[in-house]
């Protein structure tokens, strides 16, 4: 029998043990428990929510003089706790109303008075949930 140096023998033994561990590792591993699926998002009745928000805003806002008979659209983004996340986008007769400072300021002021919106949990909104909606007012 040929003579094998002790250091070489240990090296071969370690390589063999490492190889066995690599091959047997997956077979010996414990199966992981499956991750449960996230609960489904609540179904939100957007029309009912839109009516609720429109009614809330109408308690705080009326069209300034000179805007009677015009269609005003307000795009708002808010959290389920009723707080706004950004400035509203206002359209007058389907076009941006940025140049109509009186109108935009009246809506911005009304939103400051009306927010946070209340009763949103009744529609299935959670406090951390972000939501966007367009509300159209006919100022007739």
pLDDT greater than 60 at residue 22: no
2: pLDDT confidence band, cut at 50, 70 and 90? Answer: low
Average pLDDT (38-65) is 83
* Structure-token pair, residue 124: 């299935």
- The torsion region of residue 71 among left (phi > 0), alpha (psi -120 to 50) and beta comes to beta
User: Looking at residue 13, what is its pLDDT?
Assistant: 63
pTM: 0.63
pLDDT greater than 70 at residue 23: no
Domain ranges of the chain: 46-138
Architecture of the structural domain at 46-138: 2-Layer Sandwich (3.30)
Q: Write out pLDDT tens, residues 48-61.
A: 988 898 899 889 88
Average pLDDT (11-29) is 59
Pairwise CA distance, residues 39 & 124, whole Å: 13
The values of phi and psi at residue 46, to 5°, are -65, -35
Pairwise CA distance, residues 81 & 121, whole Å: 8
Q: Write out pLDDT tens, residues 97-119.
A: 888 889 889 988 999 998 998 98
Percent over 70 (pLDDT), the chain: 74
Q: How big is the CA angle at 69 (ends 107 and 138), to the nearest 5 degrees? A: 60
Please state the separation of Cα 70 from the chain's center in Å: 32
Please state the separation of Cα 106 from the chain's center in Å: 28
């Amino acid at each position: 029998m040929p003579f094998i140096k002790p250091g070489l023998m240990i090296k071969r033994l370690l390589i063999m043990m490492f190889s066995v561990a690599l091959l047997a590792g997956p077979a010996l591993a414990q199966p992981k428990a499956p991750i449960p699926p996230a609960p489904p998002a609540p179904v939100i009745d957007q029309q009912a929510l839109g009516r609720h928000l429109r009614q809330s805003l109408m308690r705080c806002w009326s069209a300034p003089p000179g805007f009677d008979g015009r269609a005003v659209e307000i795009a708002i983004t808010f959290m389920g706790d009723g707080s706004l996340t950004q400035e509203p986008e206002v359209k007058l007769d389907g076009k941006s109303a940025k140049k109509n400072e009186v109108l935009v300021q009246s809506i911005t002021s009304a939103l400051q008075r009306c927010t946070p919106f209340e009763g949103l949990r009744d529609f299935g909104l959670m406090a951390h949930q972000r939501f966007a909606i367009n509300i159209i007012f006919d100022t007739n």
